[in-house]
Amino acid sequence: MKKIIFLTLCAALLAGCAVHRYHSEFAFANKLLQEGLWQEAIFRLEKARAAGNDSAALHNNLAVALEGLGRADEAEREYQAALKLAPANEQIRLNLDKLKKNQRKDADEKK
């Protein structure tokens, strides 16, 4: 019985560490985004995703970083993934609309 209680406590502690790791990576990535450090933000967001998160905010922020690096197609996929998780989120929709508008503008300039 003591062994079961011990193992349960260990599992709970490990789960708590994973949540903390996600929150700290995600928070750090947000600071990096504000500073325009796109590549490092992507690295941190991927680490947060590996820690078990698949939130709309994570996909949105990853899309912002990808867009900052000029990787529009990947950014669009991340915005779409974010909208699947939070279809009513107006900020994500606005970000996607802005990306598409910029893509059309770039395409028109190339003509």
Residue 80 predicted with pLDDT over 60: yes
Residue 17 predicted with pLDDT over 60: no
Amino acid in the structure at residue 36: G
Please give the structure tokens belonging to residue 63: 């899309």
Q: What is the pTM of this model?
A: 0.76
* CA–CA gap between residue 21 and residue 86 (Å, rounded): 23
Tell me, what's the pLDDT at 53? 76
What is the second-level CATH architecture of the domain 2-110? Alpha Horseshoe (1.25)
3-state helix, strand, coil in the chain (%, to 5): 85, 0, 15
* CA–CA gap between residue 83 and residue 85 (Å, rounded): 5
Residues 6+ apart with CB under 8 A from 4: none
Tell me, what's the pLDDT at 106? 82
* CA–CA gap between residue 109 and residue 103 (Å, rounded): 10
* CA–CA gap between residue 51 and residue 16 (Å, rounded): 11
Tell me, what's the pLDDT at 9? 43
Residue ranges of domains in the chain: 2-110
Token match 């991340």: residue?
78
CA–centroid distance for 3 within its chain: 38
Tell me, what's the pLDDT at 108? 83
